[in-house]
Amino acid sequence: MATESYEEAIAKLTNLLSDKADLEGIAAAKIKQITAELEATDSMPSDPVERIKSGFLHFKKQNFEQNPVLYGELAKTQKPKFMVFACSDSRVCPSHILNFQPGEAFMVRNIANMVPPYDKNKYSGAGAAIEYAVLHLKVENILVIGHSCCGGIKGLMNIPDDGTTASEFIEQWVQICSPAKAKIKTDHSELSFTEQCTNCEKEAVNVSLGNLLTYPFVKDAVGKKTLALKGAHYDFVNGTFKLWDLESKISLFLSE
């Protein structure tokens, strides 16, 4: 079936170009681009062990051995200026979307890029990472990046009003950002479910930024202006990236 669709698609394109010959140049360029892309994809091994091996070899030859100064320094220590919270989603790695190089960003990745509030019992993982980044690495910025089509946020928005959950962990985890859901349901009840999800992806980042301030060492560093908190949203459907901070909100919180 897939091959029939391909021949049909080519036939339709050829048909279109027979009427609009001036579009041939553009069409040829785009076909060339697609061909190059598919060639590159095809060269990736499907066996997982081979995929891992070839991936590391590629890194070693094209990157590690080409940058002896960088890797010589990194072998001794890391001094990242950023701590980044990003979703575990395979499409949103900050090394790709922000071109972070080795040594630049200390990263935490979890479902829906959430920062839970201070809790030594329930959220020791997040606490450990933030403590290490702020007190030991002394990062200068914490960036929380939300993204489009986030399954975790959609899961949060889908939890029924009576609170019944179907998962063992997922819904419990994403309810860290319940305040964001409540805000969207209140302020944007007129929007479609999909639009509400998009808004919630961004509002959840704000909830996470607020949760960062429940860690005394974060609040302290922000107050001393040695640490800045930023929120962001990556939209991979439209290819856009929004960046913001909560300056005014932080000043308010710090004066409490």
Among residue numbers 100 through 159, which ones bind its own copies (CB under 8 A)? 100-111, 116, 120-133, 136, 140-141, 143, 149, 151-152
Least distance (Å) from its own copies to the CB of residue 9?
13
Residue 13 in contact with its own copies, rule: CB under 8 A: no
Element (H, E) at 83: strand 82-87
* Minimum distance from residue 182 beta carbon to its own copies (Å): 20
Minimum distance, C-beta of residue 15 to its own copies, in the bound complex (Å): 22
By C-beta, is 167 or 187 nearer to its own copies? 167
Residue 103 CB burial class (10 angstroms; 0-12, 13-18, ≥19): middle
Nearer to its own copies, 103 or 210 (CB): 103
Applying the rule CB under 8 A, the residues between 175 and 214 that interact with its own copies are none
Residue placing its CB nearer to its own copies in the complex, 188 or 245? 245
Which residue shows structure tokens 């009576």? 162
CA 162/CA 244 separation, integer angstroms: 34
For residues 132-163, one letter each, b for 16 or more C-beta atoms within 10 angstroms of the residue's C-beta and e for the rest, the string is ebbeebebeebbbbbbbbbebbbbbbebeeee
Of 221-240, which residues contact its own copies (CB under 8 A)?
A: 228, 230, 232, 236-237, 239
Shortest distance in whole angstroms from residue 107 CB to its own copies: 5
- Minimum distance from residue 232 beta carbon to its own copies (Å): 7
Query: Which residues from 52-91 bind its own copies, rule CB under 8 A?
Result: 52-56, 58-60, 63-71, 74-75, 78, 80-82, 88-91
- Closer to its own copies by Cβ: residue 137 or 188: 137
- CB of residue 194 vs its own copies: minimum separation in angstroms? 13
Tokens 């690495």, residue located:
137
End-to-end CA distance of the chain: 65
Rule CB under 8 A: choose which of 34, 182, 252, 254 binds its own copies.
34
Q: Are strands 240-245 and 228-235 parallel, antiparallel or unpaired?
A: antiparallel
Residues near its own copies (CB under 8 A), total = 93
The type of residue at 248 is S
Alpha helices in the chain (DSSP H): 2-19, 24-42, 48-59, 68-76, 94-97, 124-131, 151-158, 170-174, 178-187, 193-212, 216-223, 247-254
Amino acid at 102: P
